[in-house]
Amino acid sequence: MADTAPTGHNTRRWLDLYRTMVRIRAFEETALAAHAAGQMPGPLHVSIGQEAVAAGVCLNLRADDRITSNHRGHGHAIAKGAGIAGMMEELFGRAGGHCGGKGGSMHIADFSVGMLGANGVVAGGIPIAVGAAQGLRLLGSDAIVACFFGDGAINRGPFLEGLNWAALYRLPVLFVCEDNGVAAFTRAGEVTAGAGAVARAEAIGVPAESVDGNDAAAVDAAAGRLVASVRRGDGPHLLHLRTFRLLGHTSTDKAAWRPEQEVAEARTRDPIARLRARLIEAGAADATLDAIAAEARAEMAAARDAALAAAWPDPATAWTDVLDTPAPEAA
């Protein structure tokens, strides 16, 4: 998609997008460094290079809209407005984490901003998203649900079932397929037959379109249209966003099997750099953008420091949040 002509309105939106994207980048780079330093437990999946997806979609959501996410969900959460302190503490397993330290990176949720959770199971968020939409409608709300998943998820059964379900009941769901061309250590093309997510969605009765997922403005524009349509009651849509996972599957994976050139080439399409170029073109000052980025880095460094200094969970909380009816051994 050709770059949209810059306007004052667009510039303001793009600055919003930019801020969100650099915040996501800074959050994940900060987390990566802490993980590499042995300060952070558990597995860590970062979305570096994919920030336009989260930012572009969530900019079009209301506070009371909901999202579901996958294992690579920091960006989705941040873009939906999840508190950074709570996210950072969660990654470090501290008491002040959104999940009290019980979830970690792969299970970030912040219900207070409609973020219904990352998910450690590929495609696990799809049935939850359609049900949330069904529940919202039953309650008379006009909130919608955006459901993020990767290209890998379209080969799992819940993709078919969930899309069919949403189409059938005309549910307010925007399915977002974040297609970085790879699932763990295997290329999407090697495990996906047919023409992909858009064709599959359309065959199930879910209108779909495909957009360059590294072009934040294009993602924003497409998401804006589709979210409006979903909210209007047109039923579900699917937005297919082509992007690139610049790093490995997890923080400890170097993705050494990928040709260096492929990655180098992809770096030239870095969504943050592209949006920045566009903003400059539209008249934004380098200094403004640098300041936003610096602020983001500072915010995340401060959050990291605070999290590292924060209290560990009280061991007694290992026994809470499980059943209202206490288990004998917890008594």
Partner 1 sequence: MDAPVTTETLTLVEAGRRAALQEMRRDPRVWVLGEDVARGGLFGQYRGFLDAFGPDRVVSTPISESTIMGAGLGAALVGTRPIIEMRIFDFVMCAMDELVNQIAKIRYMFGGQAKPAVVVRMPHGIWRNSAAQHSQTLESWFAHLPGVVVAAPSTPADTAGLLVAAIRSDDPVLFFDPKNLFGVTGPVPAEIDPLPFGRAREVRNGNDLTLVAWSAILPDCETACDALAAEGIGVDLIDLRTLWPWDEEAVAASVARTGRLLVVHEAVQAGGFGAEVVARTIERLGPASVKAARRLGAPRVPVPFSPPLEEVVKVTAPKIVAAAKATLGAPAAPR
Ligand X SMILES: Cc1ncc(C[n+]2csc(CCOP(=O)(O)OP(=O)(O)O)c2C)c(N)n1
- The nearest distance, CB 171 to a second copy, in angstroms, is 11
Pick the piece of the chain touching ligand X (CB under 6 A) from 17-25, 151-159, 221-229, 233-241.
151-159
Three-class SS state of 128: helix
Cα–Cα distance list, 132 to 33, 113, 177 (Å): 35, 14, 18
Cα gap 123→147, rounded to integer Å: 10
Residue 150 binds to Mg ion (criterion: CB under 5 A): yes
Residue 47 binds to Mg ion (criterion: CB under 5 A): no
Residue type at position 187: R
- The nearest distance, CB 32 to ligand X, in angstroms, is 15
User: Which two structure tokens, joined as six digits, stand for 52?
Assistant: 């336009």
Residue 102 binds to partner 1 (criterion: CB under 8 A): yes
Q: Which of 120, 127, 207, 224 binds ligand X (CB under 6 A)?
A: 120
Contact assessment for residue 41 and residue 104, using Cβ atoms and an 8 Å cutoff: yes
Cα–Cα–Cα angle for 40, 254, 106, rounded to 5 degrees: 40
Residue 192 binds to a second copy (criterion: CB under 8 A): yes
Pick the piece of the chain touching ligand X (CB under 6 A) from 119-127, 265-273, 280-288, 301-309.
119-127
User: Among all chains, which residue has been given the structure tokens 């909901």?
Assistant: 66
Per partner kind, with CB cut-offs from 5 to 8 A, the member of a second copy, ligand X, partner 1, none near residue 206 is: a second copy
- The nearest distance, CB 253 to partner 1, in angstroms, is 10
Cα gap 178→150, rounded to integer Å: 5
Residue 66 binds to partner 1 (criterion: CB under 8 A): yes
- The nearest distance, CB 219 to partner 1, in angstroms, is 24
Per partner kind, with CB cut-offs from 5 to 8 A, the member of Mg ion, a second copy, ligand X, none near residue 200 is: a second copy
Backbone φ, ψ for residue 176 (5° rounding): -120, 110
Residue 42 binds to ligand X (criterion: CB under 6 A): no
Q: Residue 51 or 65: which CB sits closer to Mg ion?
A: 51
Residue 153 binds to ligand X (criterion: CB under 6 A): yes
Residue 247 binds to partner 1 (criterion: CB under 8 A): no
- The nearest distance, CB 69 to ligand X, in angstroms, is 10
Q: Which of 49, 83, 150, 158 binds a second copy (CB under 8 A)?
A: 158
Task: For CA atoms 209, 214, 217, 223, give the dihedral sign.
Answer: positive
- The nearest distance, CB 195 to partner 1, in angstroms, is 15
Site for a second copy in 201-240 (CB under 8 A): 202-206
Cα gap 290→236, rounded to integer Å: 38
Cα–Cα distance list, 58 to 76, 81, 174 (Å): 7, 9, 11
Q: Which of 157, 189, 288, 294 binds partner 1 (CB under 8 A)?
A: 157
Contact assessment for residue 30 and residue 78, using Cβ atoms and an 8 Å cutoff: no
Burial of 118 (0-12, 13-18, 19+ CB in 10 A): buried
Cα–Cα distance list, 179 to 25, 50, 109 (Å): 18, 9, 22
Q: Which of 13, 25, 35, 72 binds ligand X (CB under 6 A)?
A: 72
Cα–Cα distance list, 306 to 89, 96, 97, 109, 310 (Å): 8, 10, 11, 20, 6
Residues near Mg ion, by CB under 5 A: 150-151, 180, 183
For binding to ligand X (CB under 6 A), which residues are involved?
A: 71-72, 120-122, 150-153, 180, 182-184, 245
Residues that bind a second copy (CB under 8 A): 155-161, 163-164, 167-168, 190-195, 199-200, 202-206
